[in-house]
Structure 1
Amino acid sequence: MGIKGLQSFAQNSPNVCNMINIKTLAHRQRSLYPGCTPTIVVDAMGCLRTWYTPNAWVHGGQWKEYLCSLQKFITAFQSAGIRLVFIFDGVVEQKKRAEWAQRRLRDNHEISKIFSFIKCSGKQPDRNMFFIPSGISTFTRFALKALGQEVVCSRVEGDYEVARYGLQHQCLGILGEDSDYLIFNTVPYFSINKLQLHNLVTLMYSREGLCDSLGLCISDLPLLACLLGNDTVPMHMVEDFQKNCLTLYRSKGTRHNRRTQVIQAVAAFIAHIQMSPHYLSEVEKYFPNRSDLQLLQKGVKSYILPQQTSPWLSSKSQCPDDTKVPETPVCPDKDVVQIVLDHHYKGDNTMICNVLCLGETECSNTLEDDTDSEIPGQALVYRRARQHIYAVLLGTGNGSQETCPVVKEWYVYPGNPLDRPTLVQAVPLSTPGGTPGVRSLLLGTGPDIQRLRFHTCMACFDADHYVEELSVLEPPLAATCCLLIYLALQVESLSLEDVDAFLSQAVCLPGKSAGELKCLQVYFVDSRAVHLAFLYLRGIVTLMGANSACGYPFKMMDLMPWNTFDGKLFHQKYLHCHKGSSVEEILDGNESLIAQFKKLKAIVYGACIAKRRTLKAQRREHYHLQDQRQSAGGQKARGYQHSNRWPR
């Protein structure tokens, strides 16, 4: 959620915000309440862009560096004796779906610009085109848990959960970047964007100051937010109302921009009608359409925390519904649903919870080149794996295609307008004994249950022919091989060089520190390598979903990218492999790594042959910009144009 222009208005208004020292506030709270640990509730989704500090981002994420960035952030607060609780969005509420879809379509446009830049320059774009690495919210939950932090995944709208948690636990404040925290009647709101980590100084917003500047009460702020337009109340619904307010309440001679004038005029309207004995009807007459009025009331209601009331709502609808479990979850097994909900709330999964409880799932944008016809969109590549996961979670009906359950998918891929969900049917596994059920996988015991879990998880990715070989590998390497087998079967253009690049980075990664990875030099940014890297990242997230559905044959931490994947390292290996470098050169002559690499390659290659897929060599020569600068003739001397596409 968010209210356009409100945060800027607050920052430019006297007495609405000021710089404060969080350490000082924490010390004051400890003095007032001895034995109390000052706690800040963190809106994690609003902080991700601030936390991702590595310079390289376009290659697929620098995950060991990112882990260090998070540790530095946590240490700064721990040193001040401050406890952090991190809350992540766990659902996209239906009332927000249209806005969610519009944002995804806008992101598609920005991604196209990024790939155009890469193809023209062979470089990573500047930070002003920064697009946060795929899957970062999922990976961050586990990173924070690995660093000993408390993580919560919301069961309702994320910012509501943050505001409620802060109020109920008497937190020191909320850390985030969302103007809705100016509206909720909860604890103080601190800006993550203005935070100076070295001394914990940041900007604190004052709701009381905002109300003083607008002539309102705190209980009026939810109505103000809705009349200004937010994710619940669309702007087109309140445009005519705002024009009327400007006509009636515009301040004469003001030099403020239009948005500031709108905010002041709407606030003046609210302040004026409060003097009327029938103030609710004064609002209603501007929204004669019943559905618009209901949406407005729903918007106001979404800001009212437990035990709070609003003068702008009728007595029948004061508090929002806070149902932990849908009244009719898709899965009828209450034990399974409760286990999954508990895991969800602790941040262990989101995909399978939404599938089991709502029959729905979504996935945001990925850095993928929609003009590259050789590599399908990740949503399409991993659809078959998801269909197998749905069969594990929801069953297969009576085994016929007509009775297999259907899941509503909100997945971004080229050509999808996101105006309605894609209906995706569960597909049974072709394993002996049929598709195991989620209950037996989650609750089963016995000597063979872990083997069944692993076999089922691998079968979701068509890697069950090599279960014995995969089961004896280190878990991160087994996961890598599983995904590469699946990608080779789903993406016809995947070549031996591509597989070599993924495998060589996987065997090298454990021996590389965050500092070494940071110092890696990539002389050329290749758009296809970028696309493949993010395709692989989405594969990790999909494998995590399968792992949850199958009863955790892997420890989740073994699947995390800081154990399995580094974007810049992969990019470097990709360029070497397609340049034609030998295995010895790619692996720096390390005999142990070479032996490990050959073993993994034999597994992937053998599994593909078993599925009648032969991986072929297809070197894609790269035109080095460095060579171009050093050569007098440049492109003309070579007789071809600079491109990161290659002749067949």
Structure 2
Amino acid sequence: MGIKGLQGFVATVCPDVCRMVDLREIAEKHRIDHPDFPPVIVVDAMSCVRYWYTPESWVCGGQWREYLAILEDFIKAFMAAGIKLVFYFDGVVEEKKRDEWIKRRFQNNKEIARIFQFIKTHRKQPGRGMFVVPSALPTFTRFALKSLGQKTVCTLQEADFEVAAYGLEHNCIGILGQDSDYLIYNTCPYFSIEKLRLDRLVTLMYSREHLCHALGLSLTHLPLFACLLGNDVVPERLLEGFWHKCLVTSPHKNNSYSRRANVILAVANYISKVPCSYSSLEHLKEVLPLGSDMTLLYRGVQSYLLPGQRSPWIPPNVTNCQTFSLQEQTAMCQDKEILQVAKEQHIRSENYTIFNILSSGETECSNSLEDDRDTEIPGQALIYRPARQHIYSVLLESGKGGTPDLKTLWFAKGPDVEKQRYSTFLACFHLQDGMEELQALEAPVAAFCCLLAYLMMQVSSLSLEDLNAFVAVILCLKGKSAAQLAGLQLPQVDSRAVHLGAVFVRGLTTLLLANSACGFPFRMDDLMPWEMFDGKLFQEKYQQSHRGCSLEGLLEGNESLYAPFHNLKSFICKACTAKKRTIQSRPRGDGFITGTQQREFNPRFQQTHRSSFVPPYHNQMRGFLWRNPQPQGREYRSGHPDRRRRFHHPPQ
């Protein structure tokens, strides 16, 4: 997550630390020096998704086909220069960084609330200054890159460490990302994704050596320097007093600089006078509130040491400092074969979240564009909780009380097993009775129907107009190119449709989870958003539907879509009726409910409705942790899996 203010400091105070470079030239030099090894750039994908997502519309739920085309162009530009890319994604949030991660989720909640207030006031998307990435963008980026033939790695720890280690071990020409920690690791050069000009393949390259020269430090000093500025291991709140003492004695204080810049210079000045020895750190106990326990500082320094590297700051009797930060795992799954396969699939980016669940009983979800003030739509974490609990039963109660045997689902072959995989998947969404009808559909359409039927069952405030809009999207999307979707213009943006778009896209990740758990009855490619959803198109269909648009208008005059439209609606309505859920018409016009259209929200009815669905596989697990900060600002606790811990007000 980086060191606060360091890259800004470099840009303003010591710009010689970075310079524009031509990646083609660097690659060509590498080919000359290493003719047997192609030039490779290792990409910190999590710090790049914000810069990859350039479609004009971002608030409506994602312009997925446009985004896929952008990723393809990105890859082609490097391929044309003979540069191979390796993409790394965070697979976990390490315990040592969880507090900072939670803090950022809370901050994101505030940003999301401001976005919804803007949409409600102006009926349009905010400017890029308020930009947040569409829900689940990193997750689907990972699968997109894999589908485009790229080597894609999902990490077992924080990605920045594995990226730096890979770059060093494989003699990569550089790391592409946007994280100031790459100025601290002693690894290959660090390139900026933010400053990349894809058309010319030029960008900024940061030099650790020049940074050290500017600060009067050596490369050995940098890990300690990072820790004493505050990072993901050593909290800034512990360092304020130390910074003040450094500022008082610093000869470099400049009133034209920001306080943070002066702190950076003052800390560097302090460290430059400290001999590179662990014994010289002893006097830090007097100036740091860490007291006699220096473990935090040692762990922070060691977090920057790559395999084979040593530090003079770490005492010889302190080993494996990184293990201090590792959470004690509860070995949720006792089957080593299952766990090993899940781990291998995790690393190769073939499954979704399964290894985290089986190994530690945890999974995370970041913020989504959900409207905290819309009390009619529960938080997506609650909407998909029954499905998740059912999936946990499949994973963790293999062969118990009617639950299918996990080894059979994952390893066995034959038509009977394929049928069992499909049936188990449908059972996660309470749709096992619709298996014959769903198998007759194209795979993406069948998966779409599973998700939409489940959503209509779980959220009683969803109306016939909402259903019509969703069904129209998947039918009208099929023939549209990325360019056609990019050209679609919206006269206004509806905040409720924004919310529903985010909820639907989060549901797609639940499909990925169920598919991974059940032995892949679907191809993962068939569950991707570019196969069944487009944010702007959904906005258009939603507004048309709620204004009473005719079927002809809703389906763009394509008569061949009329029968599929009625068939899909019929299936979903029938599935809901079987669960005593009647979908009612409730047009909202321009988004405001008036007169007889107003219906009082009844939380008691909502809760009764949600709790009426009991997964076929009774779940006896206790202590399973679902960490899902979502912007509803409510806490729910129960004895079932999904019980939260550590933080009380949840911050996609």
Asked if Structure 1 and Structure 2 have the same fold, meaning a TM-score greater than 0.5 normalized by the shorter chain, the answer is: yes
Deviation of residue 268 (structure 1)? 1.2
Confirm whether residue 360 of structure 1 aligns to residue 362 of structure 2.
yes
Task: Please say which of residues 240-249 and 173-182 is displaced more in the overlay.
Answer: 240-249
Aligned to 2:432: 464
**1:546-585 map, 5 Å:** 546-585=514-553
**1:368-379 map, 5 Å:** 368-379=370-381
Aligned to 1:307: 308
Structure 2 contact 221–276 (Cα < 8 Å) conserved = no
RMSD over equivalenced CA pairs, Å: 2.2
Aligned to 1:22: 23
Secondary structure of the corresponding residue to residue 187 of structure 2 = coil
Secondary structure of the corresponding residue to residue 196 of structure 1 = coil
Aligned to 1:635: none
Aligned to 2:395: 393
Secondary structure of the corresponding residue to residue 502 of structure 1 = helix
**1:160-175 map, 5 Å:** 160-175=161-176
Aligned to 1:105: 106
Give the Cα–Cα distance (whole angstroms) in 1 for the partners of residues 21 and 598 of structure 2: 59
Could you tell me which of 432, 444, 462 is aligned with 1:494?
462
Deviation of residue 278 (structure 1)? 3.7
Could you tell me which of 440, 444, 458 is aligned with 1:476?
444
What's the % identity of the aligned pairs? 54
- Residue type at the aligned position of 2:508: I
Confirm whether residue 201 of structure 1 aligns to residue 169 of structure 2.
no
Aligned to 2:421: 453
Cα gap change, 1:210/1:238 in structure 2, threshold over 3 Å: closer, same or farther?
same
Aligned to 1:331: 333
Give the Cα–Cα distance (whole angstroms) in 1 for the partners of residues 308 and 284 of structure 2: 24
Confirm whether residue 54 of structure 1 aligns to residue 22 of structure 2.
no
Structure 2 contact 94–326 (Cα < 8 Å) conserved = no
Give the Cα–Cα distance (whole angstroms) in 1 for the partners of residues 287 and 317 of structure 2: 22
Deviation of residue 520 (structure 1)? 1.1
**Cα deviations by residue, 1:241-276 (Å, 9 ceiling, x for unpaired):** 111111122425653221111111111111112188
Structure 1 contact 46–178 (Cα < 8 Å) conserved = yes
- Residue type at the aligned position of 2:558: N
Aligned to 1:4: 4
Give the Cα–Cα distance (whole angstroms) in 1 for the partners of residues 520 and 63 of structure 2: 26
Deviation of residue 440 (structure 1)? 2.1
Aligned to 1:177: 178
Secondary structure of the corresponding residue to residue 142 of structure 2 = helix
Aligned to 1:130: 131
Cα gap change, 1:481/1:276 in structure 2, threshold over 3 Å: closer, same or farther?
closer
Secondary structure of the corresponding residue to residue 174 of structure 1 = strand
**Cα deviations by residue, 1:324-370 (Å, 9 ceiling, x for unpaired):** 99876210000000000000001123421111001111111000111
Secondary structure of the corresponding residue to residue 42 of structure 2 = strand
Cα gap change, 1:574/1:260 in structure 2, threshold over 3 Å: closer, same or farther?
same
- Residue type at the aligned position of 1:607: A
Structure 1 contact 308–319 (Cα < 8 Å) conserved = no
Could you tell me which of 343, 346, 355 is aligned with 1:344?
346
Deviation of residue 198 (structure 1)? 0.6
Gaps of 5+ in 1: 400-433, 624-640
Secondary structure of the corresponding residue to residue 407 of structure 2 = helix
- Report how many residues are paired: 597
Structure 1 contact 392–438 (Cα < 8 Å) conserved = yes
Aligned to 2:498: 530
**1:510-521 map, 5 Å:** 510-521=478-489
Give the Cα–Cα distance (whole angstroms) in 2 for the partners of residues 253 and 50 of structure 1: 34
Deviation of residue 489 (structure 1)? 1.1
Give the Cα–Cα distance (whole angstroms) in 2 for the partners of residues 509 and 205 of structure 1: 43
Structure 1 contact 503–601 (Cα < 8 Å) conserved = yes
Secondary structure of the corresponding residue to residue 185 of structure 2 = coil
- Residue type at the aligned position of 1:524: Q
Aligned to 1:619: 587
Could you tell me which of 551, 554, 558 is aligned with 1:586?
554
RCO (CA 8 Å, sep 6+): is it higher in 1 or 2? 2
Give the Cα–Cα distance (whole angstroms) in 1 for the partners of residues 536 and 495 of structure 2: 13
Confirm whether residue 215 of structure 1 aligns to residue 183 of structure 2.
no
Give the Cα–Cα distance (whole angstroms) in 1 for the partners of residues 218 and 330 of structure 2: 40
Give the Cα–Cα distance (whole angstroms) in 2 for the partners of residues 514 and 165 of structure 1: 34
Deviation of residue 321 (structure 1)? 5.1
Deviation of residue 506 (structure 1)? 0.5
Structure 2 contact 3–230 (Cα < 8 Å) conserved = yes
Secondary structure of the corresponding residue to residue 368 of structure 1 = coil
- Residue type at the aligned position of 1:435: T
Secondary structure of the corresponding residue to residue 362 of structure 1 = coil
- Residue type at the aligned position of 1:577: S
Structure 1 contact 306–319 (Cα < 8 Å) conserved = no
**Cα deviations by residue, 1:45-87 (Å, 9 ceiling, x for unpaired):** 0000110010011111000000111111111111110000000
Task: Please say which of residues 511-520 and 312-321 is displaced more in the overlay.
Answer: 312-321
Aligned to 2:578: 610
Give the Cα–Cα distance (whole angstroms) in 2 for the partners of residues 344 and 46 of structure 1: 20
- Residue type at the aligned position of 1:491: V
Cα gap change, 1:294/1:506 in structure 2, threshold over 3 Å: closer, same or farther?
same
Structure 1 contact 7–179 (Cα < 8 Å) conserved = yes
**Cα deviations by residue, 1:86-127 (Å, 9 ceiling, x for unpaired):** 000001001111111110011001100011011111101111
**1:18-167 map, 5 Å:** 18-167=19-168
**1:250-265 map, 5 Å:** 250-251=251-252, 255-265=256-266
Deviation of residue 277 (structure 1)? 9.2
Secondary structure of the corresponding residue to residue 205 of structure 2 = strand
- Residue type at the aligned position of 2:507: G
Q: TM-score, normalised by structure 1?
A: 0.89
Q: TM-score, normalised by structure 2?
A: 0.88
